[in-house]
Structure 1
């Protein structure tokens, strides 16, 4: 508020605050962040923060920072950095067509298959902790109502019960592990494909429409087709490769050699 009232140029606006109901607990700043040695970053107001990624920030210009509190209880620092263009990969002269699926994430034209990420273990653990979280929160709400009806001098609030909050964090940890390992798997797979092939052709699927099929919606979401394509798009642009999005209409009906349309086929 001081910056707003003392500003005479009219360039500084009113401060904007997150709502209490906003799920993402974070704040963003544009101040200068400095690297201090090999292991520390100096952030305005927070001071020195220990990190292990200072080597990546060499010869870069930090434009903006965001401090984020995850549901797991961990804090993360996200940096928007201006860097020079990455080095291009050497050309291999190879081309590939990729068909994405549910059981196998990517099937190449030569029959090579890359399986989808299996998150069943983390899903089972998250489901167990979800049940514990719901039960503990429900019991805590009942105790709060009892104190309110009995007109206790010092009634307890829902936040004073830490048992359901611990269950919530445990559930979030397993969900975060599944998401992190899935993203790591997709990064390794897309980088491998971009290194191996100069031209990559992939179906232009509408994932949102396909998820309306409730029998396959969960499997499609777990396969992460959209993230897979996004990673291929920006990595091909970075490293001097080409990505072609093919219209999926009749791709499984028309023969690639003679052009004969054999009609609809079962799943």
Structure 2
């Protein structure tokens, strides 16, 4: 379980210290990956040992907490494990591990940080001396943080500031209200979803609605870019942050919409069945890729599964094969083209 709180009231020097910690974590992760490339067959324990050698060799790596260095090695090992798994399953895209170029987070385990007794501030105690930051979160989130075991603390840099994610060792279970209702959901990008009774929810299309503003900020960023310059101007970086905030707002709008819709659907039904669409295959159609990403089906279905587990309700992912061709009454299969929008049962 993850609870998030924004880090505020920090000075420029404190944020610079967090940036140095993030860059160091990226350095350790890339060094672990480089070592694996040069020494195939290296295990996770060998990467842990490499972290100690890096601390001895590079003074700035020694400033990062030892547990944070191990967490960076675990990130590299996670990428390697996924690569081995895809090779073993003979998947078409193996996903060869790549070096990180713009890492935005650093992860601490049980050391390198200290939370205040009231949960209002957090202090980072590693060699970068970032100091104390105020934590702003609602009362429920603070209650969970103070009354749960904190396994890890992850610092994330985003376009509008720095955030702390608390990974808690707790399983969320709540008593749901059982209504006896059953719903089947057909996902789409014109109507966000349509149930078996023909009721539909309109797709908000947050990206489409923000495209004009995004294009304006992108043009301003392009005008400030100096080709061939070793480093860009301060105005360029300020405009880059403005563009990032617009993208971040669209991302948060999608997330908020998906959470609210999923919560509403699961709360009012005991059984929920939805199409288990393979989004990574659907977006290969470049004419529909933007609309498919804008619909955020995967995020919606993830939260359907989450609330199903929280309230102990049945949420079923149905394979999408032939769902538009098989009759829901008799099961007879009627082959249709994409232009055919109405099913006519032959029996």
State the TM-score bracket (shorter-chain normalisation).
Answer: 0.7 to 0.9
| Equivalent residue for 1:102, pick from 189, 193, 200 | 189
Partner of 1:44: 125
How far 1:20 moved relative to its partner?
9.6
Partner of 2:33: none
3-state SS of paired residue (1:51): strand
Alpha-carbon distance between aligned partners in 1 of 2:171 and 2:253, rounded to the nearest angstrom:
28
How far 1:21 moved relative to its partner?
5.8
Partner of 1:121: 209
How far 1:107 moved relative to its partner?
0.8
Rg larger for:
1
Partner of 2:79: none
Alpha-carbon distance between aligned partners in 2 of 1:21 and 1:162, rounded to the nearest angstrom:
24
Alpha-carbon distance between aligned partners in 2 of 1:193 and 1:73, rounded to the nearest angstrom:
32
How far 1:52 moved relative to its partner?
2.5
Partner of 2:107: 28
3-state SS of paired residue (2:330): coil
Select the structure that is richer in helix. Answer: 2
Asked whether the 8 Å contact 2:119–2:146 carries over to 1, the reply is no
Alpha-carbon distance between aligned partners in 1 of 2:258 and 2:194, rounded to the nearest angstrom:
14
**CA offset digits 1:192-225 (Å, max 9, x no partner):** 1111111111112111111111211110110011
1:55-70 paired onto structure 2 within 5 Å: 55-70=143-158
Unmatched segments (≥5 aa) in structure 1? 1-9, 145-156
Alpha-carbon distance between aligned partners in 2 of 1:35 and 1:93, rounded to the nearest angstrom:
46
3-state SS of paired residue (1:28): strand
Relative to the length of structure 2, the TM-score reads 0.64
How far 1:38 moved relative to its partner?
5.6
| Equivalent residue for 2:290, pick from 195, 218, 239 | 218
**CA offset digits 1:40-98 (Å, max 9, x no partner):** 2344343432122223423111111111212x251111111112432131222111100
Alpha-carbon distance between aligned partners in 2 of 1:33 and 1:237, rounded to the nearest angstrom:
32
1:86 aligns with 2:173: yes
How far 1:25 moved relative to its partner?
2.4
Unmatched segments (≥5 aa) in structure 2? 1-45, 55-68, 74-97, 340-347
| Equivalent residue for 1:234, pick from 300, 306, 316 | 306
Asked whether the 8 Å contact 1:99–1:203 carries over to 2, the reply is yes
1:185-264 paired onto structure 2 within 5 Å: 185-264=257-336
Partner of 2:162: 75
Task: Go from structure 1 to structure 2 and tell me whether the alpha carbon gap of 1:21 and 1:136 turns closer, same or farther (over 3 Å shift).
Answer: farther
Asked whether the 8 Å contact 1:141–1:158 carries over to 2, the reply is no
Relative to the length of structure 1, the TM-score reads 0.81
Alpha-carbon distance between aligned partners in 1 of 2:99 and 2:293, rounded to the nearest angstrom:
30
The count of aligned residue pairs is 241
How far 1:129 moved relative to its partner?
1.1
Task: Go from structure 1 to structure 2 and tell me whether the alpha carbon gap of 1:20 and 1:158 turns closer, same or farther (over 3 Å shift).
Answer: farther
Task: Go from structure 1 to structure 2 and tell me whether the alpha carbon gap of 1:20 and 1:102 turns closer, same or farther (over 3 Å shift).
Answer: closer
Asked whether the 8 Å contact 1:129–1:167 carries over to 2, the reply is yes
